[in-house]
Amino acid sequence: MTEIATEAAARALGVCYYPEHWPEAWWEDDARQMREAGITYVRIAEFAWSRIEPEDGRFDWDWLDRALAVLGGAGLRVVLCTPTATPPKWLIDREPSILPVAADGSTRGFGSRRHYSFSSAAWLRESRRIAAAVAARYGASPHVAGWQIDNEFGCHDTVTSYGPEDLAAFRDWLRSRYGNVDSLNAAWGSVFWSAELRSFDEVALPVGAVTETLPSARLDFQRFSSDQVASYCRMQAEILRQHSPGRFVTHNFMGRFVDFDHHAAAEPLDLASWDSYPLGFTEQFPLDPEERALFAETAHPDIAAFHHDLYRGVGRGRFWIMEQQPGPVNWAPWNPVPKPGMVRLWSWEAFAHGAEVVSYFRWRQCPFGQEQLHAGLQRPDRSLSAGGAEALRVASELRALSLPGPARQAEVALVFDYEAAWMLRIQPQGADFNYVELCLRWYEAARRLGQDIDIVPPGHSLDGYRAVLVPSLPHITKPALAALRATPAATLIGPRSGSRLADFAIPPTLPPGPLQALLPVRVTQVASLRPGLSHAVTGALQGAALRWREWLEGEGEVLARFDDATPAAIAAHRRVYLACWPDRALLDAAVRHVLEAARLDIVELPPGVRLRRCGDRRFAFNYGPSPWTLPGPADRHFHLGGATVAPQDLACWNA
Ligand code: GAL
């Protein structure tokens, strides 16, 4: 592990700024206004390659020197980026092999961003060159607080690429994983449909066939592609560390995105950061129509929070919001204006979950280019936007309220697994079996009962947790099994857990496979349920199965049964196996059951209200349409707000 850089901001605001978009005569004013607004960090240059190196080998540092001097001179701390998200035209013309190839074999061309393959030799060479050039130039600058590598790995579906160099790298990856082709054939089950190979040179990319290719091959291709992202991130991190000791190194990850293992990619980083677009995600997330309408202008109360808790884990306790929307975005199907108060509320929700910095995207709305209708803290005419005014308010509140340090360990852990997302996507078996959605629903159910949650990867220690939620974990690795075995926590394990081995095969003892060492049950049959079909569940837990249902048998206490009398939930040794995708009533009942077994304090919250503890403070956030009054003593000491929390408002008190 790398040494953690020293500059850990207490709690601060930041902003994303593009000096190359504005007349230089404005820079000083911009920097001064940022400082006056209470902004500490300014992130720059992630898309500036064509200005840094306008022609092959000819660098133009002058403008960036001046930009750093102006920003730093105003007292701002700069987060400088490597500009690898946008390789310039001259480079693509010289090295067209950099361009990624789509699954249909077409080349994804120049003209937007992220037009590179992680396996292109020319790209790796050019990435090293530009990262080293920028890092050598500014690595020792007193204005540079830290670095962002690239921008949003995988954005616009760019983790995978299907060109000749991707194939060659995939074959090498398989060689080192399997050693010989017989092992590969055995692991993939290639005998099925006569897909056996005689050498690694016969491996093809698992796309473009007449129908479905081997699921085991697709899983390996996803693992390979994920490893390519992680090693690319490590390569850049090493260059930055060499030239810029003592500065932090991060990357801005995305929301709702699982195409690579973020824990592996973040391993060489000092902290994780992520880009929070609460309304954009509320538009994109699979929500019920009424829910979407209810939260369209405030955001679903758990989507950003889920990612805060996920990325706090990815960053091993440290995370930033590198981008937060300050008004409407431009990229969702519909792009509403946040209701008054929400930009402030989202900022505080991030701080309450432990974010060190909330940085807004972007300083000023840009009147040209692809994102003209994306709000900034300023409008294109340099006047303050509504979101800008809210950021000013957050800055002054932040000054008044010194928040305690990093988040403490929560009492509830939710196990989230990137491989689970890939496996369930590769063979969903039901069109609406969406892993991220399932996890969000389980998270939501616990939050609606007032819980704070840590999101951890499988195999992570579960010491100190009183309740553990495992929404679905198809592949149970040895470390995952050991952690689940070791914890005395009340544990709820969801459908399809233990249903696949590492190579995607069904376990010989039937699902939940290795989990049978902890829970004496087996799944004899599964069904996906089309919209409109449900199977009622009755007993100590009531509700219904939607989307997915299993036939469970085994020993233990049957907590609930389906109509045909087969068990829907079996409990044994503080663990409960839930054999379906639960509807809201059943999920609430199951989560409540484990929280009560863990003797956790439960607070019943309305759909739009959430709580979060931060050190000795507690926050309440109201995303809903009605005021909410805190239960309990009236004589609390409030730092923000009061006992009744209005819609789009928050409260913070001594817990
Ligand atoms: C992010 C990206 C930014 C900008 C923003 C717009 O995904 O990192 O560069 O495009 O979205 O919301």
Catalogue all structural domains in the chain, each as residue range(s) with its CATH number.
Answer: 3-160+245-400 (3.20.20.80), 412-597 (3.40.50.880), 609-654 (2.60.40.1180)
Report the residue among 371, 373, 377 best suited for mutation to probe ligand 1: largest number of ligand atoms under 8 A from its CB. Answer: 371
CA of residue 554 to ligand 1 center, whole Å: 50
CA of residue 234 to ligand 1 center, whole Å: 23
Dihedral sign for Cα 368, 370, 372, 377, please: negative
CB of 374 shorter than 6 A to ligand 1: yes
Q: How far apart (Å, rounded) are the C-alpha atoms in residues 5 and 158?
A: 30
CA of residue 340 to ligand 1 center, whole Å: 22
Q: Tokens in use for 37?
A: 């607004």
Provide the 3-class DSSP secondary structure of residue 451: coil
Q: How far apart (Å, rounded) are the C-alpha atoms in residues 594 and 617?
A: 26
Dihedrals phi, psi of 515, to nearest 5 degrees: -70, -15
CA of residue 368 to ligand 1 center, whole Å: 15
CB of 275 shorter than 6 A to ligand 1: yes
pLDDT of residue 3: 34
First to last CA, the chain: 35
CB of 152 shorter than 6 A to ligand 1: yes
Peptide bond into 466 cis (omega under 30): no
Q: What b/e string do you get for 378-395 counting C-beta neighbours within 10 Å, with b at 16 or more? A: bbeeeeebbbbebbbebb
- Which atom, in ligand 1's list, is nearest to the CA of 277? 12
Q: What letter would DSSP give residue 518? A: T
323 in active site: yes
- Which atom, in ligand 1's list, is nearest to the CA of 370? 10
Q: What letter would DSSP give residue 44? A: E
Provide the 3-class DSSP secondary structure of residue 611: strand
Provide the 3-class DSSP secondary structure of residue 549: strand
CA of residue 328 to ligand 1 center, whole Å: 12
Edge-to-edge strand order for the sheet containing 144-148? 248-250, 144-148, 77-81, 39-44, 12-16, 357-360, 319-324, 272-276, 252-253
CA of residue 459 to ligand 1 center, whole Å: 33
Report the residue among 155, 156, 359 best suited for mutation to probe ligand 1: largest number of ligand atoms under 8 A from its CB. Answer: 155
- Which atom, in ligand 1's list, is nearest to the CA of 152? 8
CB of 151 shorter than 6 A to ligand 1: yes
Q: Tokens in use for 241?
A: 């560390």
Q: How far apart (Å, rounded) are the C-alpha atoms in residues 341 and 343?
A: 6
CA of residue 479 to ligand 1 center, whole Å: 36
Catalytic residue among 46, 152, 419, 550: 152
Question: Quick one: which of 514, 462, 513, 520 has its CA closest to 491?
Answer: 462
CA of residue 44 to ligand 1 center, whole Å: 13
- Within 8 A by CB and 6+ apart from 449, the residues are 588, 591, 592, 595, 602, 603, 604, 605
Q: Whose CA is nearest to atom 12 of ligand 1?
A: 329
Q: How far apart (Å, rounded) are the C-alpha atoms in residues 621 and 608?
A: 8
Q: Whose CA is nearest to atom 10 of ligand 1?
A: 371
CB of 630 shorter than 6 A to ligand 1: no
CA of residue 361 to ligand 1 center, whole Å: 8
- Which atom, in ligand 1's list, is nearest to the CA of 47? 9
Mean pLDDT by 10 residues, the chain (655 residues): 44 98 98 98 98 98 98 98 98 98 98 98 98 98 98 98 98 98 98 98 97 98 98 98 98 98 98 98 96 97 98 98 98 98 98 97 98 98 98 96 84 98 98 98 98 98 98 98 98 98 98 98 98 98 98 97 98 97 98 98 97 95 98 91 97 94
Work out the angle at residue 185's Cα, subtended by the Cα atoms of residues 422 and 121, and round it to the nearest 5 degrees: 65
Report the residue among 47, 113, 152, 252 best suited for mutation to probe ligand 1: largest number of ligand atoms under 8 A from its CB. Answer: 152
Q: How far apart (Å, rounded) are the C-alpha atoms in residues 631 and 299?
A: 24
Q: Whose CA is nearest to atom 1 of ligand 1?
A: 275
152 in active site: yes
Displacement of CA 104 from its chain's centroid (Å): 28
The amino acid at residue 435 is Y
CA of residue 86 to ligand 1 center, whole Å: 13
CB 154 within 8 A of CB 229: yes
Report the residue among 323, 335, 363 best suited for mutation to probe ligand 1: largest number of ligand atoms under 8 A from its CB. Answer: 323
Measured CA to CA in angstroms, residue 307 lies from 281, 466, 507 at distances of 11, 21, 32
CB of 155 shorter than 6 A to ligand 1: yes
Report the residue among 331, 346, 377 best suited for mutation to probe ligand 1: largest number of ligand atoms under 8 A from its CB. Answer: 331
Q: How far apart (Å, rounded) are the C-alpha atoms in residues 552 and 559?
A: 12
CB of 329 shorter than 6 A to ligand 1: yes
Catalytic residue among 126, 323, 411, 444: 323
- Which atom, in ligand 1's list, is nearest to the CA of 322? 8
CA of residue 619 to ligand 1 center, whole Å: 29
CA of residue 398 to ligand 1 center, whole Å: 25
CB of 361 shorter than 6 A to ligand 1: yes
CA of residue 323 to ligand 1 center, whole Å: 8
